[in-house]
A and B are shown apart, each in its own frame.
Chain A
């Protein structure tokens, strides 16, 4: 009986430092971020490539349609996102959204072999604010299934 008591007490003594250590390291260091951020997609009003419109997608989901002189906004969950536009070539913009932040993405068109190549690039608030008076808000327009006539 005495020996058993001694071994139990020894076990407690030997385990105590590990218990203390695990309590120190169990802090929620990798807690996942929650919430959403705002992304503003915009395209400058230009004559060159003005007739070309393109959709911005994430995977198969259509987020909006950019024509010359337009913009739309989306709310994106925090985390990594890949936004694509494509015609004869595909362009992918990877972004990391953090809760409560606003990001700006400028759409453009560069020349290609057969058709204009749409492009998405990171931009900033100052650039968007400078163009905004000439841009049309098309948030939620031009996406989804086509209507049958």
Chain B
């Protein structure tokens, strides 16, 4: 009896495995390494508040397609990391910020990202500091440089780090009407974002 049951199990098991594979094996699309992706940062990052090593949420800003097929839908979540953050300081020293996009999750897959083009410094007030030092001596030291910000919902380019196989996805619905622009920070020192 036991032997028959065992043989039955042996014969049935490949079919069980095959069934699970079929269920997961929607046609896979090859996404080449260095495929451009647009990444939206979920929180405001500041050179004076954030520290190296801190992580922050990122989202895909626009459907990533291979041909006409969507492979990474807009809104897919991932994670970024602060690589370098230096506070603005005395003598007109500007705040500095370098960010990296680490990965994005697409269903059960994790896609590594690289080449996130967010780095730069705030306004350098070194010349102002020097000018004041000539006129007023040590007071020139107390001129501070601009803080470097990357705004919440700011978008920058990145690339996929390696070739991955992803199933086709449904295109994300068109975005809602553009949200009103937050103007409260316009004109703030170092608010401008540079991408390289």
Contacts and interface: CB of A to CB of B under 8 A. Distances in A.
Contacts, number: 96
Contacts of A110: 90-93, 126, 129, 145
A20 B14 CA distance: 11
Contacts of B162: 31
Contacts of B119: 103, 122, 124
A108 B84 contact: no
Contacts of A93: 84, 86, 96
A12 B67 CA distance: 43
Interface stretch (B3-11, B35-43, B171-179, B180-188): B3-11
Given A110-B129, A111-B130, A111-B140, A9 B6 contact: yes
A2 B3 contact: yes
Chain B contact-residue range equals 35 or more
A93 B94 CA distance: 13
Q: Which 5 A-B pairs have CB atoms at the shortest separation, nearest pair first? A: A124-B196, A110-B91, A122-B119, A121-B121, A94-B84
Interface of A: 2, 5-6, 9-10, 12-13, 16-17, 20, 29, 31, 33, 48, 80, 91, 93-96, 98, 101, 103-104, 106, 108-113, 117, 119, 121-125
Interface of B: 2-3, 6-7, 9-10, 13, 17, 52, 83-84, 86, 90-94, 96-98, 100, 110, 112, 114-115, 119-121, 124, 126-127, 129-130, 133, 140-141, 145, 161-162, 194-196
